[in-house]
């Protein structure tokens, strides 16, 4: 997704400001990934984006807000809202597999792995960082998927007594061993390994929540 499109989809702003906003978000994502949250200053973000610090603050009131927006935009870039539009006439398995592929691509990206490691490493010293990350990323994705499951459940495509619990289960299953290996730096899985894992996870989920 190019910078101007990302800026339009990830926040308000006058048209002439969209390019600067996108540049700030790109700089923030890069620096938070490589330097960590504490190691990244608003001055550094401004310099990386090629704008003044005043411009950064005019778009994002503080570093916390910018971090959350960067996480939110990354999630929306790879898992846009339309991904969770339930097609009640289409096959549920294909819809789940599409969501599964998008989610795994997101969490296995180098940026996502780096940010997650930073959040975990800072958990004791900066617990608010983990809360910000959770609210801006995982919580939003889980909520969107839970709404999708509720619609499919109402259409009797699935039989789910608790959609939010089922959403959490689905994403935890999708992470599985492959994501744990990535987190530990044990090498990247092959495309075939990923496909087998995602297909098996979707089938497992469907067996658990198939209409009775």
C-alpha pair distances (Å), 40 with each of 17, 47, 62, 139, 173: 23, 11, 12, 24, 33
Q: Which of 20, 37, 71 is the last residue of a domain?
A: 71
CATH number (domain holding residue 12): 1.10.10.60
52 and 91 inside one domain: no
| Closest among 38, 28, 36, 32 to 7, alpha carbons compared | 28
Q: Would you state the pLDDT for residue 120?
A: 87
Q: Would you state the pLDDT for residue 124?
A: 81
The pLDDT tens digits of the residues spanning 29-61 come to 999 988 888 889 999 999 999 999 999 999 999
In the chain, the number of structural domains is 2
Q: Would you state the pLDDT for residue 5?
A: 47
Q: Would you state the pLDDT for residue 90?
A: 86
120 and 16 inside one domain: no
100 and 199 inside one domain: yes
91 and 31 inside one domain: no
Q: Would you state the pLDDT for residue 45?
A: 96
Q: Would you state the pLDDT for residue 44?
A: 96
Q: Which of 21, 55, 71 is the last residue of a domain?
A: 71
Q: Would you state the pLDDT for residue 14?
A: 56
38 and 86 inside one domain: no
65 and 92 inside one domain: no
CATH number (domain holding residue 163): 1.10.357.10
Q: Would you state the pLDDT for residue 182?
A: 94
Q: Would you state the pLDDT for residue 18?
A: 87
Q: Which of 15, 37, 71 is the last residue of a domain?
A: 71
49 and 92 inside one domain: no
Q: Are 45 and 66 in contact (CB under 8 A)?
A: yes
Q: Would you state the pLDDT for residue 3?
A: 45
Q: Would you state the pLDDT for residue 16?
A: 54
Q: Would you state the pLDDT for residue 36?
A: 85
Q: Which domain holds residue 107?
A: 79-209
- Stretches where the chain sits below pLDDT 70 are 1-16
20 and 93 inside one domain: no
85 and 183 inside one domain: yes
Q: Would you state the pLDDT for residue 70?
A: 92
Give this prediction's pTM.
0.85
- Residue position matching structure tokens 């989920």: 205
């Amino acid at each position: 997704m190019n910078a101007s499109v990302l800026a339009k989809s990830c926040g308000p702003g006058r048209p002439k400001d969209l390019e600067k906003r996108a540049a700030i978000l790109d700089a923030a994502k890069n620096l938070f990934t490589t330097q960590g949250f504490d190691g990244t200053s608003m001055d550094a973000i401004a310099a990386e984006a090629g704008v003044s610090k005043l411009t950064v603050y005019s778009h994002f009131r503080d570093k916390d807000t910018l971090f959350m927006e960067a996480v939110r935009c990354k999630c929306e870039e790879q898992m846009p809202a339309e991904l969770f539009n339930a097609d009640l006439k289409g096959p549920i398995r294909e819809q789940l597999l599409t969501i599964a592929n998008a989610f795994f691509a997101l969490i296995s990206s180098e940026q996502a792995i780096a940010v997650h490691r930073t959040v975990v490493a800072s958990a004791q010293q900066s617990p608010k960082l983990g809360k910000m990350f959770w609210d801006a990323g995982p919580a939003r994705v889980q909520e969107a998927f839970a709404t999708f499951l509720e619609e499919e459940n109402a259409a009797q495509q699935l039989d789910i007594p608790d959609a939010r619990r089922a959403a959490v289960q689905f994403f935890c299953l999708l992470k599985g061993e492959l994501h744990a290996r990535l987190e530990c730096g044990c090498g990247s899985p092959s495309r075939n390994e990923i496909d087998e894992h995602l297909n098996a996870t979707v089938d497992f989920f469907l067996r658990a929540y198939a209409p009775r």
